[in-house]
Structure 1
Amino acid sequence: MSVAAFLDMTGARLPVVQAPMAGFAGSRLAIAAMRAGGIGSLACATLTGEQVMAEVDAIRASGPGPINLNFFCHDLPPAPDETAWLKTLAPFYAAEGLDFRIDAPPLRRPFDEAMMQVVERVGPEIVSFHFGLPEDWFLKRIRAAGARVFGNATNVDEAQALAARGCDAMIAQGFEAGGHAGHFLFGHHPVGLSSLLPAIVDAVDVPVIAAGGIGDERGVRAAMALGASAVQAGTAYLLSPETMTSQAHRTRLTEATADDSVFTNLFSGRLARGLRNRLIETLGAVNDAAPPFPYASAALAPLRAKAEAEGRGDYSPLWAGQGVALARAEPAETITRRLGEAALEGASA
């Protein structure tokens, strides 16, 4: 689908989707992206329904533009036995002078009836999903509420499965993308964006949004040349003043290179791409002791809180994609406009 058709479908002026980044991107970032003409996104997996409604109210009050509410579609297993994980973390607790306790952060929860009612109440233009799609009756209600449905694919099989269930557009999430890998049909078999994007474009008849390692005009133009109808950027925004990125995270972002970004299961129990820190260097990026998603973060919370209070990111999920060196400390509105104008140029080239 052409860029013009994508813009007409979404109501955006620029073919840029600000990535929903739980814990880092709230209403301020969405507002800035929308003011520039892009699509503003809100990550809802760690928010209550009341918090989602409050954030949407703030976004709507700022002016017009398309809002994307993003949800997870994972299975939530019963609480696991964390004995092995607690034993693994014991030396860190001792080193930090902490007595063990669990100050559990909000679990990342899958889309459910309560959030369905929130969607119906606030009426977003777009509802997007990570880790697959919810049941068909939810999709029917989402469409009845006037929203488009976007999915996330990490391979061609997933893209075709999403298209078969009626997705209006899909995100082609390349290997380079920061945060959680969105695979859902089978194991994690990552593919770089330059190979993934044209394969998905050729396999489906809906707009494809390129994501993964896109941080400047060169990456945007390359994605458009490979057939993308729009681009999604996340890491590119992490240094902007509108994000909730911690100071420790900001410091690492300014010095990091592509090879500092690795897939790890330590912070949530599921593979996600972030920057190396003390926990990763000590335990390895992937450790079998970590509980399944989304339970791993609870036991890390006290360690993370103490370190961040001291300006350290030793136990924090420093999410960032391989395009981390391209991130700039610019206002999010400027970033959106810069990437969006490059996308328009790339589409017309």
Structure 2
Amino acid sequence: MKVTSPVLGSLTVPIVGAPMAGGVSNPLLAAAVSDAGGLGMLAAGYRTPEQLAADLVHTRDLTTAPFGVNLFVPARPDRDRLAPSVEAFREELAPLADRLGVEPGPVSWGDTDHWADKVLLVETLAPAVVSCTFGLPDVEAVARWRAAGIEVHLTATSPEEAAAALALEPDALVLQGHEAGGHRATHDAAAEPVLIDHLGLLETIAPGTDVALVAAGGVMTSGDVRRALDAGAAAVQVGTALLLATESGAGRTYRSALRDPGLTERVTTRAFTGRVAGAVRNDFVDRHGPAAPHAFPVVDQLTKPLRRAAAEAGDVQNIHIWAGSGWRACQDAPAAEILQGLTP
């Protein structure tokens, strides 16, 4: 086990709460994970700078323990090449949108998820950790965060991405295996993710680096945690295991879908956002996955009103049900109790 990150080294429980965007990883969940001895993480993705500032302040009010925040590195989809397939996808969604009483959302090809503002916000409010997904931050952002005393954790899904991340000398590297729920953290949205699990990534990367490694993907039991630690991880990152936690921001329909006996298969799909993501298979995946272009975040913008309307209607067949392998083991319990059960 390698622990070069002071924050990870200070944890009494070697578990990081995965930053799950869309409201799941709210201040209550982040604080609960940190108070239980792990590292709670806020998800900045899809939040405005004002919302993120409120989340950071709220979490700091709830806990004195270290916590972190995760940022989406901006995607730059090729508008000239992808616009025709995006428009065709909009037309494909129209009948379902009409049935749900909404319209596909407007698209913004230049959407950066407020990257520049969030870089400054994190620098100013200085949580213990900032992590990045969907790519690598520039050298200037890393330098600014470090100067503010913030640990920088980067994410990789393959040995090649790990090598690029390690060149920035992060304090920790999150290795996300293909078992993970939600978006794969691939640096190139158009690329098909490498089919390698978190143990395979650890076995490949751990011998060649002294940087602290965090294993992510399908970690649902104390045995999973022990195997990752034995393979060289300083900690594990869990998301799916916390979806049904008392403090989780997962909505009513999402929670119901995770317990639906008619939903039995997990797949990877671009159907909802244009990025490959691990999800429970439903009608939306079957009908729209094949046609979804790899245009993130544009596809996400198109489908968001449909998914929101379906969630409000209790329609589990037309929401995204992000889930990692082993999602059936999710527990409806306080986060502290879930972490206790995961601790070897």
TM-score (norm 2): 0.89
Is 1:86 the counterpart of 2:112 in the alignment? no
Give, as a single letter, the amino acid of the residue that structure 1 aligns with 2:36: A
* Correspondence list, 1:1-349, <5 A: 1-2=1-2, 6=5, 11-23=10-22, 24-77=24-77, 80-81=83-84, 82-94=86-98, 96=99, 98=101, 100=103, 102=105, 109-110=112-113, 112-184=115-187, 187-255=192-260, 260-283=265-288, 286-290=289-293, 292-339=295-342, 341-342=343-344
Residues 39, 66 of structure 1: 8 Å contact kept: yes
CA distance in 2, matches of 1:69, 1:304: 25
Return closer, same or farther for 1:289/1:324 CA change in 2, 3 Å cut-off: closer
Residues 304, 313 of structure 1: 8 Å contact kept: no
Give, as a single letter, the amino acid of the residue that structure 2 aligns with 1:227: G
Return closer, same or farther for 1:184/1:305 CA change in 2, 3 Å cut-off: closer
CA distance in 2, matches of 1:132, 1:301: 23
CA distance in 2, matches of 1:308, 1:9: 36
Deviation at 1:97, TM superposition (A): 5.8
**What's the CA shift string for 1:75-125, capped at 9, x where partnerless?**
23376453201221133234x2636353779x9735732112101211111
Residues 72, 110 of structure 1: 8 Å contact kept: yes
Give, as a single letter, the amino acid of the residue that structure 2 aligns with 1:229: A
Deviation at 1:196, TM superposition (A): 1.8
The alignment of Structure 1 onto Structure 2 pairs a total of residues equal to: 336
Residues 156, 174 of structure 2: 8 Å contact kept: yes
Matched-pair identity in %: 33
Secondary structure of 1:314's counterpart equals: helix
**What's the CA shift string for 1:200-237, capped at 9, x where partnerless?**
21232211111111011111111112111100000000
Residues 19, 43 of structure 2: 8 Å contact kept: yes
CA distance in 1, matches of 2:104, 2:167: 46
CA distance in 1, matches of 2:8, 2:292: 45
Kindly report structure 1 stretches of 4+ aligned residues shifted beyond 4 Å: 5-10, 255-259
Unaligned runs of 5+ in 1: 343-349
Give, as a single letter, the amino acid of the residue that structure 1 aligns with 2:199: S
Deviation at 1:9, TM superposition (A): 5.2
Secondary structure of 1:177's counterpart equals: coil
Unaligned runs of 5+ in 2: none
Residues 75, 110 of structure 1: 8 Å contact kept: no
Return closer, same or farther for 1:103/1:75 CA change in 2, 3 Å cut-off: closer
